[in-house]
Amino acid sequence: MSILIKNGRVVDPANKIDAVNIQAQAATIIDAAGKIVASGIIDIHVHLREPGREDKETVASATAAAAKGGVTTVLAMPNTHPAMDCEDNIKLLQGIIKKSALVNVLICGTLTKERLGQELSDIAALKKVGALAISDDGCSVDSDTLMLEAFKKAKQAGLLTVCHCEDKKLSGKGVMNLGFNSTRLGLRGISNESEYKRVSRDIELAAKCGAPVHIAHVSCRESVDIIAAAKKRGVKVTCETAPHYFALTDEDIVDYDTNMKINPPLRAKQDVAAIKAGLKNMVIDAIASDHAPHTENEKDIEFDRAEFGKIGLESGLAISIMELIEKKILSWQELVNVLAVNPAKILGIDKGTLSVGAQADLIVIDAGKEFILEKKSIVSKSKNSPFIGRRLKGLVEYTIYNGKVIYQG
């Protein structure tokens, strides 16, 4: 069945298009007058929780949430139970995806067995069975020798290494950003140093063997500076941030709201400014949700004991519109670049464009539509969003995946 989206403002930076689309005839017509038409979002950092923690999220519920948020491709992080550290486990997840996924789901394998940082996974075997990248996300490999070997093996296999940069010796038992607000709240702090020292190390190790490296969830000023310097000297480094790192600060943790307990933590105002500048200056390549669902039992407890993480598939676009488009940090072309074009390039997939002949993954956005994010309206199985109760702006009206309407708002 053919679908015509007419009268919309088509934003396709890959083809240098920003214009109202032409009219034609089709079996289904969507009038997008006054709306934005763009490629579907490619979210390169999503925790599906299945297999193993279906009480938090499933492939079916997560991909339904993705569709509502305008996301048509996700990269599934490997910290499932069992972890994505061998062929059998990846095949298990592939079977679940085939049966229940609403959008395109790509799989990230583990760097080390069981993500313990002790013994490398069979990286070549993971690539052979279909892994698109490797990571121990949620953990960082402490051994320089083992991490260098991982980069070498990944390069040989043609896989991207995604690095969660955290030195646990420095972050320790911290639960929020180290600073005045952690002292005021009586909570143990996590320093910027625990992130940027490991960012620096991982970039240097990757550079030593010429392997590409992708830095996940960048949150602080020093990390942005280190990545910018590495790019200038030709290191094959890319990075992502997440909407909460340019929309919230540690000052927002006023009432011990555990939905704001995130790793890396919400940082200081100067870090948020650096993240926005990094997006504007194209140091930061992508925006990803770091969608991390948790049950109420894991969140509705004392701040010290609560799990790190928040959901973001359904709110990421609206937050990006409010913080980056409305505040004139990015243009629409630049926003689509970091949400779709660049993530596709980072992963080496043929997506993120509206080119003739490309798979029809696209979204129609009412950028001026305001709504309140209510718990009851969240599609994700878990409801741990720091934006619940907030007035947001920018609503997905249609999500089309592979030529089919999979969500209509």
Angle at 287 between CA 283 and CA 290, to 5 degrees: 130
Decide if 266 contacts 253 (C-beta within 8 A).
yes
Cβ contact 23:7 at 8 Å: yes
The answer to whether 290 is a known catalytic residue is yes
Structure tokens at 404: 């089919």
CA 89 to chain centre: 22
- Name the strands in the sheet holding 9-12, side by side, starting at the edge strand that comes first in the sequence: 17-20, 9-12, 36-39, 362-372, 391-401, 404-408
Q: Which tokens go with 341?
A: 């074009």
Question: Which residues make Cβ contacts (< 8 Å) with residue 232, sequence separation at least 6?
Answer: none
Helix (H) or strand (E) holding 304: none
126: CB partners within 8 A, 6+ apart? 84, 85, 86, 87, 90, 109, 110, 134, 157, 159
Distance CA 224, CA 351 (A): 27
DSSP for 55-115, please give it: TT--HHHHHHHHHHTTEEEEEE-S-SSS-S-SHHHHHHHHHHHHHH-SSEEEEEE-SBGGG
What is the number of alpha carbons within 13 Å of residue 172 lying toward its C-beta?
Answer: 12
Burial class from Cβ neighbours inside 10 Å (0-12, 13-18, 19+) for residue 14 reads buried
Among candidate residues 136, 290, 361, 366, the one labeled active-site is 290
Distances 171 to 114, 139, 263, 378 between C-alpha atoms, Å: 22, 12, 10, 32
Cis peptide leading into residue 264 (ω within 30°): yes
Residues in the chain, total = 409
Using DSSP bridges, classify how beta strands 133-134 and 17-20 pair: parallel, antiparallel or unpaired.
unpaired
Amino acid at 61: S
Instruction: Give the residue numbers marked as catalytic.
Output: 290
